[in-house]
A and B are shown apart, each in its own frame.
Chain A
């Protein structure tokens, strides 16, 4: 099947074909996040056990977050054979408006990083897994009203839904050039906490 071409409508019991290559990108800030190395080791081991060609970058700066995502996409697009699945794990401190903090304390918007893979032709119609281990606010559940946490920067801007922003951005592309498969399709996001809450 051409990556940009039409695909047969999946039946209710259909399963993704994972016979091609699998690639994982693990970006983890460990500075100032005690114990984060345990997560890096556990997740890295799992990815390798599941056959993912794994790239690990620890303590990326905010700029490196973006550059690594761009390079990951380029590697996938340049891959000789078919790519059947991609997994991206982002582990860092985060904020209520979908920011991720690099090791340098600078911010990057999560949706910008996620959007990078929506441009990846090799992954069109292929499953994309995003794992986010980061605070998404200062709220504790169940708990008192919002209280600033040291790991979560405050912002003067009103809270926006991360999923809403992602969908909005992706929809804009969808409207410009309708592909065979919507850009929003085939994505699994798993966040360690709900919007606005701290990650324990």
Chain B
């Protein structure tokens, strides 16, 4: 985050910009897939860690922002 922003927000922006007409829930799944693929350094910079989003939806319809 220090240099480029957080993996979550930056990946989310990239994925939504690439396909803004798609269903948002599907896009979030793609964001999570990409975030889970990333290796991140832990706070001590001595070990590689994984991150995983938590997505909770009570949407009743498809949500397409464009």
A42 in contact (CB, < 8 A) = yes
Q: In the complex, are the beta carbons of A200 and B5 less than 8 A apart?
A: no
Interface size of A by Cβ–Cβ distance < 8 Å?
A: 51
Per-residue interface assignment for chain A, residues 6 to 39, with 1 indicating a CB less than 8 Å from any chain B CB and 0 otherwise: 0000100111101000000000000001111111
Q: Which residues of A contact B (CB under 8 A)?
A: 10, 13-16, 18, 33-39, 42-43, 45-46, 49-51, 85, 89, 91, 127, 129, 131, 133, 140-143, 149-150, 163, 182, 184-195, 197-200
Q: Could you tell me the distance between the alpha carbons of A13 and B55 in the complex, rounded to whole angstroms? A: 21
- Would A46 and B13 be within 8 Å (CB), given that A38-B5, A199-B6 are in contact? yes
- Would A15 and B54 be within 8 Å (CB), given that A33-B1, A35-B6, A133-B6 are in contact? no
Question: Can you give 6 contacting A-B residue pairs, CB < 8 Å?
Answer: A39-B5, A50-B16, A50-B20, A189-B55, A190-B31, A190-B56
Q: In the complex, are the beta carbons of A39 and B42 less than 8 A apart?
A: no
Q: Could you tell me the distance between the alpha carbons of A185 and B63 in the complex, rounded to whole angstroms? A: 13
Q: In the complex, are the beta carbons of A190 and B28 less than 8 A apart?
A: yes
Query: Which residues of chain A are within 8 angstroms of B57 by Cβ–Cβ distance?
Result: 187-189
Which one, B6, B9, B31, B54, contacts A194 given CB within 8 A? B54
Q: In the complex, are the beta carbons of A129 and B24 less than 8 A apart?
A: yes
- Would A10 and B60 be within 8 Å (CB), given that A192-B53, A193-B53, A199-B51 are in contact? yes
Q: In the complex, are the beta carbons of B51 and A50 less than 8 A apart?
A: no
Query: Which residues of chain B are within 8 angstroms of A190 by Cβ–Cβ distance?
Result: 12, 28, 31, 53-56
Q: In the complex, are the beta carbons of B52 and A193 less than 8 A apart?
A: yes
- Known contacts A39-B10, A51-B66; can you find 18 more A-B pairs with CB under 8 A? A16-B62, A16-B64, A35-B6, A36-B5, A39-B5, A127-B59, A127-B63, A129-B24, A131-B12, A141-B51, A185-B59, A187-B57, A189-B57, A190-B12, A192-B8, A199-B51, A200-B7, A200-B51
